[in-house]
Amino acid sequence: MWNYEECKGKVKPDKVSYQINDRRVKSNNENTFTDYSDAVAVESRYDGLGLGIFRSLSAMDIDHCVNTDGTMTVIGQSIADIAGYHIDKSPSSSGLRVFFKAMGFKYDIAKYYINNTKLGVEVYVYGAIKKYVSVTGNVYQQSGVLEAAPQLQLTTIQDFSGI
């Protein structure tokens, strides 16, 4: 679960994650997260839900890729087409969250980005980073959380550098 909270020196509020007991979540400690059914039971106390990037779960956060008319930017559509996995719209509705598994993915930071601010793409792969990602349930593309390591290993974010 998370709440929007003002942060000194920042224009936008942060999404601060919490445990079911209202203590802060530690993004590097799976034991501070709760299961889905317990989180949903207290969801009304928070601004939203989030998922921890643990075990086999991985996620991609694509900022500003949904235009106001609902069409996708080239980068957003390209990643959505490659992924073919479960995708939610972000809390702002202008971005997407792609959820997938990436077991055995060899994360080479010289080749792959965790946060590419130029393209507005963040990739959180299990084993490379411990993080939580907000979810909305506002589904853009319905699917299971499927294995993506082979596609990710063959496709780098550098493939989108000409976009």
**Does the pLDDT value for residue 22 go beyond 70?**
yes
159 located within any domain: no
35 located within any domain: yes
Q: What dihedral angle (degrees, nearest 10) is formed by the CA atoms of 51, 96, 144, 30? A: -10
Percent of the chain with pLDDT over 90: 39
161 located within any domain: no
Q: How far is CA 162 from CA 60, 75, 159, in A?
A: 20, 10, 7
**Does the pLDDT value for residue 64 go beyond 70?**
yes
**Domain span holding position 39:** 2-154
Q: How is residue 92 written in tokens? A: 């702002």
d(C-alpha 149, C-alpha 64), whole Å: 25
Output the pLDDT for position 32: 93
Confidence of residue 24 (pLDDT cuts 50, 70, 90): very high
140 located within any domain: yes
104 located within any domain: yes
60 located within any domain: yes
116 located within any domain: yes
Q: Is-above-0.95 flag for pTM?
A: no
Indicate the number of domains in the chain. 1
Output the pLDDT for position 109: 65
CA 81 to chain centre: 17
160 located within any domain: no
